[in-house]
Structure 1
Amino acid sequence: MTAAANASWALVSTIKAPLEEVLNFAAWHLELGAKRLHIYLDDPEDPAYPILKAHPRIRALRCDDSYWRRVTPKGRPERHQLRQVANASHCYNRKNSHDWLGHIDVDEFLVPEAPVAELLAALPDTCHSARLRPMELLAPEAPGPLLRFRAFSLPLARRHAQTERLYPEFGPWLNGGMLSHVAGKLFLRAGLPQVRFRIHKALSEGTELPEAQEMPQIPLAHLHARSWESWHAHYRFRLARGAYRAELKPMRPAFESSVTLHQLLSTLEEAEGEAGLRRFFTEVCTDRPALRQALAEESLLHEVRMDFARLRASHFPRAGQDVTS
């Protein structure tokens, strides 16, 4: 294969997570062939910093007060979404040597059907952005490297019909069964002037980029709900400031009785308490045999082997003590 058949790529992410999850994210994408990982540590005292900084393909930055004074006139943004896009924009507009830059979160993982470098190189020169659509984790009953994910169909009519078949109780108010975004995340080609990232889109010189090229060959595995305990622990934050916050649009705007996910979950909790939330989680988020079969019949079930322990040991052999301590 010639060099022309490959395109170098990098990722940028703003991260505040337990050390093991940070190293999982880094090791997975190093294994896939990322030329560089630009990791902005939201907590400037994050213990991951020396481990990441020591790796030759990782550029780790501490987002302390002095950093924010350099990057934004008003200092550190209060909302984490604004910090994410500020950091991604800062990264893109620096002098870099990679051909493409992707912006994703610490719980999102590229799952390419072929080497990422080849898939990006195959895009036409006129393509400036590529969209990666998510698939969400089905919370497993027991820990292990084999994880299952639910995807969704792009055509809306098909997606909504499938959602109602898959989730008989809550499907009418859901969009593909997805609790987080369906818009996906972007890779941007290098060389665009004055880029400003948004969470699901990007602008160049103040103008939104043309519609991104869909990249079904690189689904984005989103570990949004690893278990009931993990989901419930994150629930309040997501309801107030994250993926379930009140100001987001209804999940099915054209549906006559559509509500936001915030309204759906809040109403359910008010009426039934934690038991109602658990019933919702069981139907929509758990790796149940019946749901697996139904998803497979709709061609929406994906199985991915994610042996994070092996990858951490391979890419960060000296970090084992830090992860387990």
Structure 2
Amino acid sequence: MTHWGLVATIKAPVRDVLNFAAYHLDQGAHRLYIYLDEASEEAFTLLKSHPKVRVATCDAAFWARQGGKRPIKHQVRQSRNATHAYARKPEVDWLTHIDVDEFLSPSGDIAQILAALPPDILCARIRPVEVLADGDGTAFKGFIPSGPHRARIVDEIYPTYGTYLKGGFLSHVAGKLFVRTGLDNVTYKIHNMFQGDVMNPGQTELPQVDLCHFHARTWQHWIESYQYRLEKGAYRAELAAAAGENGVNLHHFLLQLDRKGGTDALRRFFAEVAQDTPDLRQRLQAQGVLRSHDLNLDRKRRALFPGT
């Protein structure tokens, strides 16, 4: 029987941590390797009580055991922890590295989907779908594959701001990887893996699984995260621009928009590209990229962690 698991480095409210864990245990995960980036006695105790969860608090003593100090960048901490989990004695056949706001939503049983992959497939890419904000949390914009029609499709869905977005997404379009365990010399990155110097050996796409990304649950959530993401997260300055002639990446575009029009301009941008409105749903539907996933997070959390 094929077993799968995931690793995540998490700094989030306890409710979000438990939603993430309960949902994936309900999906059939055999192991969750949770690294708490910030100490939480409540989260640690509840997670440790479940036999399929392995939890660690990433305090100074933890990093000292890893041979150094706590890395400053959270992306480095995530990669280090994912690589650490992969290097353990394998308890699963496949391992994926995802974030607390990402949820695997398959069209069938994940274990069976992975078991069907040929033995020469060493990693399988899961593409994201991005939640529409301020809705009921079930509507998502779908991934638009790169190709000759992507720019036109993005332009028709997001006529004002689409040229600044990769595939129409605020966050990543690269997705995440399931990696077959038991390989030597593996290093995990955020969106890729390396075996020695070889990136993503034996890679395939896994279209049967969507990665539901709650990048912006609400306008308020987005605007509160905006400055951090500009400086350290998904909109930081060194990331590449979307395809097109403007050559301006999302970081510099948002800065320009903010300087010229402030919060009102940012809100107009957000309304076109992210807000759950009948107009956006209709445009997504017309291009065949409106997706629906009802994850039932609260129900699954209450079932696995009663009283929370």
TM-score, scaled to structure 1 = 0.92
Q: Is 1:24 equivalent to 2:41 in the alignment?
A: no
Q: Which runs of 4+ in 1 moved over 3 A?
A: none
1:46 deviates by 5.1
Q: In the alignment, which of 171, 175, 181 is matched to residue 172 of structure 2?
A: 181
1:205 deviates by 2.6
Q: In the alignment, which of 137, 150, 174 is matched to residue 141 of structure 2?
A: 150
**Aligned equivalents of 1:159 and 1:237: distance in 2?**
29
1:304 deviates by 1.0
Name the structure 1 match of 2:259: 270
Partner-residue secondary structure (3-state), 2:171: coil
**Aligned equivalents of 2:31 and 2:79: distance in 1?**
18
**Aligned equivalents of 2:237 and 2:41: distance in 1?**
30
Q: How is 1:209-288 mapped onto 2 (pairs within 5 angstroms)?
A: 209-210=200-201, 212-252=203-243, 255-288=244-277
Q: In the alignment, which of 95, 103, 112 is matched to residue 97 of structure 2?
A: 103
**Aligned equivalents of 1:236 and 1:156: distance in 2?**
32
Partner-residue secondary structure (3-state), 1:242: coil
Aligned length: 308
RMSD: 1.2
Q: What does the per-residue CA deviation read over 1:54-100, in whole Å, with 9 as the maximum and x for residues that have no partner?
A: 111111111111111122x3321000000000000000001122100
Name the structure 1 match of 2:5: 10
Are the counterparts in 1 of residues 120 and 202 from structure 2 also a CA contact under 8 Å? no
Are the counterparts in 1 of residues 121 and 202 from structure 2 also a CA contact under 8 Å? no
Q: Provide structure 2 residue ranges, at least 5 long, that are not aligned to the other structure.
A: none
Are the counterparts in 2 of residues 38 and 91 from structure 1 also a CA contact under 8 Å? yes
Are the counterparts in 2 of residues 159 and 175 from structure 1 also a CA contact under 8 Å? no
Task: Report % sequence identity.
Answer: 46
Are the counterparts in 2 of residues 140 and 147 from structure 1 also a CA contact under 8 Å? no
Instruction: Give the letter for the 2:261 counterpart.
Output: E
Instruction: Give the letter for the 1:133 counterpart.
Output: R
1:140 deviates by 2.8
Q: How is 1:187-202 mapped onto 2 (pairs within 5 angstroms)?
A: 187-202=178-193
Partner-residue secondary structure (3-state), 1:118: helix
Q: Provide structure 1 residue ranges, at least 5 long, that are not aligned to the other structure.
A: 321-325
Name the structure 2 match of 1:125: 119
Instruction: Give the letter for the 1:41 counterpart.
Output: L
Are the counterparts in 2 of residues 19 and 47 from structure 1 also a CA contact under 8 Å? yes
**Aligned equivalents of 1:44 and 1:207: distance in 2?**
35
Q: What does the per-residue CA deviation read over 1:291-323, in whole Å, with 9 as the maximum and x for residues that have no partner?
A: 1011111110111112111111111014x2xxx
Q: Is 1:75 equivalent to 2:69 in the alignment?
A: yes
Tell me which moved more, 126-135 or 302-311: 302-311
Name the structure 2 match of 1:323: none
TM-score, scaled to structure 2 = 0.97
1:157 deviates by 2.2
